[in-house]
Structure 1
Amino acid sequence: MASPSGSPHDLRDTLAFAAAQGILPAVTPVSLDDAPATPAAMRAGTSHGRAVITF
């Protein structure tokens, strides 16, 4: 699910700022087999960053 955060112009400015400052997102790759356990880990507070399912 995406998180609405403004207009396309706002997103462009935000990404440019992040790139200029060296800001990187916190992403946790999750295999398709481990994906069903991800919501429980999020509720328990044991996951970090955005969970991204990898194929």
Structure 2
Amino acid sequence: MGLKVGMTTRKYISINRTTKSTATRDLQDLVDKNVFVRKGVGRSTAYQSSLEM
């Protein structure tokens, strides 16, 4: 099996080649638009597609 993480800020930065500030802002915007659901807090925060819920 294994863990199903989804998107993290670090992955988002790597994929989009952006800064941490921009990644955090973009991911929060996607949470606000109900595209992603935030799981966890702090460094362990991950984002999962709301369609998978």
TM-score, normalised with respect to structure 2 = 0.35
Higher helix share: 2
TM-score, normalised with respect to structure 1 = 0.34
Bigger radius of gyration: 1
